[in-house]
């Protein structure tokens, strides 16, 4: 049956089940001001590439409320788009038509962090930065760290399987998430190795209680939570998560290096693993085009560092910048290792120059350059964004091949930028147009060039940003027919009426 948009009687029902309906229900049909708020905050994604037409936003505060909403929508064939911090880059959290937007922003409680297991339990609507702050207060480190941590929500991070700066050290969400609570399309609640005993005093949630501790090991039955990690809200809505956090490092060192070729980068990767070993936590690459935009639009952050690093007479006109970070528990020993590592690189002429941070301020300054990449290119023009995974040996080949192909295709005024998590092969290729308006034909031509280059190297068209709307049509080219058929069967099992995030993910 075809999905429909919410009507007046549906809004009345939602008001009856939501706590504080005056705050939890935004009905765009009620006033122009509310509709304007919905359009600006909920119908438009961070990139401004995708715009929806939803008239209704619901902001539940409990799992019971989420369950009640989904059960009703499923029975009445109303589409639902779940939204976290709305920082996605693929249109996955933006409604396509007049679906109900289910915002998780009011489900933002941190329940506990077990001091022995290191497992933190929290609501899906918690801002990532708040989880970092809470973990640090308790002597732990939250393992996921991404540039949008001040706005993004952990539920969205889990649903897109976010990777981040420290994927090399701690792995992804499939490894760090030990438990979760999920609401299915028909309103059923799954508690998958998560302790929700804190909610037992709530009569509305009591009927769902089947509490268990968030165990680090649970080998009883299928590990269903893995289906929802990276599922982008198409199989169920994540409402709570339990994440394993390592102890807070007492030692951190960061260096910014400059080299002339990608062969030098490969040598840095090899040497860093040999000489830094277990304390190596991140290796990030920034190409010269990106760094030029950071210098121009990054509000002067780290300008003196870049100038100093480029002072060598032998530095090429297109240098590559490498950020190397270590985390450990012995500052003297770790600093000595890093210093020896940099000396080795310099003496072998692998790097042209390097800067080792001497204090926390300089560490923040170096990381500030890396985190300025995305907002800086956004100020330069219309950005065609690509998040791809490539074999490490071919990391820069794709960007170079794409640049050459664009020139031959007579697509004018385009600049190819590449930065990302080079240690795990994740490249963020951004193609900037001097125009600030998107051109559909230009976008399609660019997509075909980029994805063709990635796929012929057996890479992935999505490393950590998800599928959403932007990559949906390419899934059929990247997965075997048998795999696609099984994915469709899983979708039919969990969401037979296709109410969850319609028009996304699957081809």
User: Among the residues of 372-431, which ranges form H helices?
Assistant: 373-378, 395-408
pLDDT of 80: 98
CA distance 107 to 203: 17
pLDDT of 270: 97
pLDDT of 413: 84
**C-alpha distances in Å from residue 410, one per residue of 397, 445, 446:** 20, 11, 11
Cα–Cα nearest to 65, from 27, 99, 25: 25
pLDDT of 301: 67
pLDDT along the chain (507 residues), means of 10: 93 96 95 95 86 95 98 98 91 92 97 96 98 98 94 96 94 96 98 72 45 78 96 97 97 96 97 96 97 86 79 80 97 95 95 93 94 92 93 95 92 91 96 79 91 95 90 88 96 97 91
Cα–Cα nearest to 436, from 384, 386, 399, 372: 384
Cα–Cα nearest to 269, from 281, 279, 283: 283
100-103 sheet: strands from edge to edge: 25-27, 56-58, 100-103, 80-83
Cα–Cα nearest to 390, from 431, 429, 427: 427
pTM: 0.91
């Amino acid at each position: 049956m075809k999905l429909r948009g919410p009507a007046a009687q549906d809004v009345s029902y939602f008001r009856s089940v939501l706590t504080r309906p005056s705050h939890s229900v935004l009905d765009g049909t009620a006033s122009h001001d509310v509709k304007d708020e919905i359009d600006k905050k909920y119908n438009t994604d961070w990139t401004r590439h995708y715009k929806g037409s939803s008239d209704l936003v619901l902001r539940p505060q409990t799992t019971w409320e989420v369950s009640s909403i989904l059960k009703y929508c499923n029975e009445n064939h109303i589409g639902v788009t779940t939204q976290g911090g709305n920082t996605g880059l693929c249109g996955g959290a933006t409604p396509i038509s007049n679906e109900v937007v289910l915002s998780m922003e009011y489900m933002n409680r941190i329940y506990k962090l077990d001091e022995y297991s290191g497992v933190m339990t929290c609501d899906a609507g918690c801002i990532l930065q708040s989880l970092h702050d809470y973990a640090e207060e308790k002597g732990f480190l939250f393992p996921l760290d991404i540039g949008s941590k001040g706005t993004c929500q952990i539920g969205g991070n889990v649903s897109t399987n976010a990777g981040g700066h420290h994927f090399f050290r701690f792995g992804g969400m499939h490894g760090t998430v030990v438990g979760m609570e999920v609401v299915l399309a028909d309103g059923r609640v799954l508690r998958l190795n998560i302790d929700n005993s804190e909610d037992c005093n709530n009569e509305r949630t009591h009927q769902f209680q089947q509490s268990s501790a968030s165990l680090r090991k649970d080998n009883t039955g299928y590990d269903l939570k893995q289906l929802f990690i990276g599922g982008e809200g198409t199989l169920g809505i994540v409402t709570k998560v339990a994440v394993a956090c390592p102890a807070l490092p007492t030692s951190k060192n960061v260096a910014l290096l400059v080299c002339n070729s990608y062969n030098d980068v490969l040598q840095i990767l090899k040497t860093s693993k040999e000489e830094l070993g277990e304390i190596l936590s991140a290796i990030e690459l920034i190409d010269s085009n990106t760094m030029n935009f950071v210098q121009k639009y990054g509000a002067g952050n780290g300008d003196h560092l870049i100038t100093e690093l480029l002072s060598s007479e032998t530095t090429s006109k297109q240098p590559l910048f490498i950020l190397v970070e270590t985390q450990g528990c012995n500052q003297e020993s770790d600093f000595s290792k890093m210093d020896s590592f940099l000396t080795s690189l310099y003496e072998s002429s692998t790097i042209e120059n390097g800067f080792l941070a001497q204090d926390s301020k300089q560490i923040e300054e170096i990381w500030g350059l890396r985190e300025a990449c995305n907002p800086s290119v956004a100020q330069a023009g219309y950005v065609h964004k690509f998040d791809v995974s490539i074999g490490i040996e071919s990391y820069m080949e794709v960007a170079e091949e794409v640049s050459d192909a664009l020139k031959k295709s007579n697509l004018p005024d385009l600049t190819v930028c590449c930065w990302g998590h080079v240690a795990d092969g994740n490249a963020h290729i951004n193609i900037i147009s001097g125009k600030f308006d998107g051109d559909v034909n230009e976008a399609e031509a660019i997509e075909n060039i980029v994805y063709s280059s990635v796929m012929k190297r057996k890479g992935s068209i999505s490393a950590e940003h998800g599928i959403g709307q932007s990559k949906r049509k390419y899934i059929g080219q990247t997965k075997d027919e048998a795999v696609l058929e099984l994915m469709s069967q899983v979708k039919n099992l969990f969401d037979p009426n296709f109410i969850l995030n319609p028009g996304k993910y699957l081809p």
